Structure 1
Amino acid sequence: MLLRSISRRQILSLSTLPPQLSRGSFAVNLFVMSIIAATPLLMSNAQAASCKIPKSYYKNVSCTASNGYFLAIKDFGAPVALIDKKGKSVVDLSRYQKVDADKISGGLLPVLRNGRVGYVNMQGHEAIPVMYDMLKESQGWARPVSEGRIVVKQNGHYGVIDTANKTIVPFSAAISDIDDYRGGMTQVRKNQAISWLDKNGKPTRDSNSNIKADSQTSMTRAPASNSNNANESAKEMQQSAPSSRFTTLQPRQQDGRWGFVDDNNVTMITYSFDEVRPFSEGLAGVRIDNEWGFVNLGGELVIPFRFDKSGVSVGDSYKGQPAFVFTNGKAWIGNLKNGAKMCIDKEGASVGCD
């Protein structure tokens, strides 16, 4: 189990091994064992904020995407209730076929009844009526709230609503896909063309459209390097590139996985991640399974996957920024049990948030 976990977390690092080191060689085995031995040293204080199941009347209880709420289900998986930290039921879910507790966001939980999708708030009221189609996407049958907006389908057509069920982007058969909102914008694929819409559903320019094309010179993917000089590569790129070049790669989702493209929609960092943040100050937060790390503009993993996603709740922000986004050289990566914020610098070292 440990070997399987390590190989998953270090997938980017292992991919940069010199070709002369075959995977069955003693050197590679020694390398993998060194990773395993070092793993306890890489554990973050964010683990202190990991989910702890409360004692309750319910037999089957699991964590959710929202701190303080837990999902109780029957033996065969049917939802029963959301419970709080004291084990008390706060939302009755027994009338629904399914819920997606991993997508609680903006105070809303996706629910399914009679093959229709809606959203319930943390008081148990249906904030969004159960009236939308199930999504047939690799990431599931419903999308989470993203910046107060929800991508839904009605009569087979994509559209966007707000948390009051007001239509923001009209439903259209011409729309083949809509990304979740990030940075106040969403990317829409309509009639085989790509456009950007703001939170009011109005066309807007790509946030990078004012970046000169020649800035792409600095974006050419760096050759793979080993983990010993990854931090040096990141520093050199950050020092040599002006700040206007820090956000020239955009997050893009494909087949349920996230990667990054340039201004010409050319894939620069492959679709390898479960979740990502936009580039900020030359680094982007990326998640594989339950852990976050950071890559640079060359696609190199410069801060290892060691920050547990349970350290922060979906939709949480600090000083106006979501977790795993750098501002003034610091990124918020989680909370301690006492509520204290935890931050890191661009080398991954713990620093004060204020």
Structure 2
Amino acid sequence: MVVKTRVTLWKVLIKVAIAALAPIIIISCTPQANNNNITFAIPPQFEEADGFSDGVAQVLIDGNLSLIDKSGNIITQLIFYRPPAGFYEGLARLEINNKFGYIDKNGKIIIKPQFKQARSFSSGLAAVRIANKWGYINNKGTFLIKPQFDEAFSFTSGLAAVKLGSKWGYIDTTGKFAIKPEFDKCWNFSDGLGRVQVGDIWGYIDKIGNMVIENTFDFADDFSSGLARVRVGNSWGYIDKKGNIVIQQQFDLAYSFFSGIALVQINEKLGYIDKSGNFVKQPQFDEASDFEEGLAFVKIGDKPYGYIDNNGNWAIAPQFDNARSFSEGMAAVKVGEKWGYIRNPLK
């Protein structure tokens, strides 16, 4: 089983409401070491904990969701409401009574919940849905691109994929079509290329809409580190930006490259390859993550979680009951029934 890189607190069933703590509560967070010489930056004390984003992390304390800083101080307590998404450009989307809005890192509602759906901010804009149409707002909640699309994604590289009627195309930040709607599906640009679907087959276009990698794949993903994972039939491999197959289709499952290493699966076991297709770590793990900040968490059978470096060596010995990926120099780990945070030893 593959554990996703980012695991959030969405699984926690929480009712709707919000409140800020005053004064700010300071959690006792004197660094503590365990018997494997790992020092906790924030000792295990939370029922749930998520990764840091924009300097804050979501944690669950006595059934209540709170935002903490990297010292373990509670910034804001969010009482009985569904956890927000991560912070992007200083704001996080949240849902209250089936309406979406945005809060800042102090827990203050900046854009009141009013939208049927909403996406994270990117390039100063966020896609939101009112009634049955999508448009884009700025960080004040003002529409800069009026609701008119049947679906819309966030901006990347100055373009956003939108659906008009039954077809997809790309708009610029003024709302004008840079690539007219002619595809059955499209996704955001990465490394200068956008992946598009025509019928059931995937390919890649450039920023003026030319098909530069012919649609020949049953599935194609974004480019990362100059390579993209693709599937033909039931086998996965990797192509370069010219469409050349550089790592043959041979994997039961494959993930994108991060820091020059990709997670792959063969016969229900997970391992890691480099950009030449050579195994950095042979398939042996039952749970594993992508590499973040030079480390990946892994688990074998019923053994504890630990972290390996990009050479496949143990950087942090197996010792945790659960683990998250590193972000902003820290990772949430579980010891017994409580979550805390450790620092990245590579930083």
Greater strand percent: which structure?
2
| TM-score, normalised relative to structure 1 | 0.46
| TM-score, normalised relative to structure 2 | 0.47
